[in-house]
Amino acid sequence: MTERVSAAADGNGPVPDLNPAIARRLTAAGLDPGAVRSFVAAALGEDLAGGIDVTTAATVPAAERGRGELVARTPGVVAGLPVAEAVFWLLSAEVDCVPQAADGDPVAAGQSLLTVSGPVGPILTAERTALNLLCHLSGVATLTRRWVDAVAGTGASIRDTRKTLPGMRALEKYAVRCGGGVNHRMSLSDAALIKDNHVAAAGSVGAAFAAVRAQAPGLPLEVECDTLEQVAEALAAGADLILLDNFDVPALVRAVRLTGGRALLEASGGLALASAREVAQTGVDFLAVGALTHSAPALDIGLDLVQAR
């Protein structure tokens, strides 16, 4: 199986299909099983580099079977369990994975998240790849939940950005959802966001708005504004979603009053968890937090081999 995964990752062979049960769990999570399969195969191929796991091959008898537990070392919110399952299964179809939690669950230190059983060699070879993904995605979900809890009851939602790791956008935005956040656009083509450079190129907020509306009349369109004057211009142009860039709290309050419910408002730029509630209480609808994906610390999760024979 390791040779097959390495060949697929190098583009020299087909990527094996996922277990149907894992594929169903990924689909239910809003993830594309084929895309996850290809991503995981590439990650495994990077670890194997066309060769073998030398240490495991030398120390673990080929016939040895056992059971391991993926355990949270610190409390947090778990995300990415079916992705971790895909890692183990793609390396060896003989590895059986049984989730002990569900994505989006709060987990305690010492709690088992996933039981893996089968041949010990593939379990240990897949360990780091599975943990890299599970720890990172759970870290994103955990940080997101902190922000969501900070603004609870205000009516504001925590929203992510496109500041994601290349190739991991769908997974990271899924982790944001697991933490209770909501997603901004997935790509440059499914929604428009007029930023300051677009305004400079077009000549004004109104001109940029009109140009985008002419190009894509049915597409969701958000306008970034740096001043209250630009907010007024965006409202006059017909904007129904406005991003308030680097507005302090008093300016946010004035923008909310000026808008008067005619458009949704998103605070962005320099936001901090400690002041998130104060920002949310101004009446904005969203807080845009790039840190959810670009700065989330990994949740500490480890694999404990608890039974071998």
What is d(CA 286, CA 156) in angstroms, rounded to the nearest whole number?
5
Q: For 229-253, how does the pLDDT look when each residue is reduced to its tens digit (9 = 90+)?
A: 999 999 999 999 999 999 999 999 9
**In order of start, what are the domains of the chain with their CATH numbers?**
2-140+297-308 (3.90.1170.20), 149-294 (3.20.20.70)
In 3-state terms, what secondary structure has residue 189? Answer: coil
Q: For 2-14, how does the pLDDT look when each residue is reduced to its tens digit (9 = 90+)?
A: 555 654 444 455 6
Question: Could you confirm whether 224 is annotated as catalytic?
Answer: yes
**Length of the chain counted residue by residue:** 309
Phi, psi at residue 195, to the nearest 5°?
A: -105, 180
Cβ atoms of 235 and 259 within 8 Å: the answer is yes
Q: Which of 47, 233, 245, 285 is catalytic?
A: 245
Question: Could you confirm whether 69 is annotated as catalytic?
Answer: no
Q: Which of 195, 213, 254, 277 is catalytic?
A: 195
Q: Which of 69, 224, 266, 285 is catalytic?
A: 224
Give me the pLDDT at residue 309, please.
57
Question: Could you confirm whether 195 is annotated as catalytic?
Answer: yes
Kind of pairing, strands 65-72 and 112-119?
Answer: antiparallel
Cβ atoms of 294 and 163 within 8 Å: the answer is yes
Q: For 99-131, how does the pLDDT look when each residue is reduced to its tens digit (9 = 90+)?
A: 999 999 999 999 999 999 999 999 999 999 999
Give me the pLDDT at residue 9, please.
46
Cβ atoms of 74 and 109 within 8 Å: the answer is yes
Give me the pLDDT at residue 13, please.
58
Q: Which of 65, 146, 162, 163 is catalytic?
A: 163
What is d(CA 269, CA 288) in angstroms, rounded to the nearest whole number?
8
Share the mean pLDDT of the chain: 94
User: For 263, which DSSP code?
Assistant: S
Give me the pLDDT at residue 3, please.
54
Half-sphere exposure of 144 (CA within 13 A, CB side): 34
Residue recorded with tokens 């309050």: 253
- The mean pLDDT value for 141-164 works out to 98
Give me the pLDDT at residue 14, please.
66
Q: Which of 65, 128, 146, 277 is catalytic?
A: 128
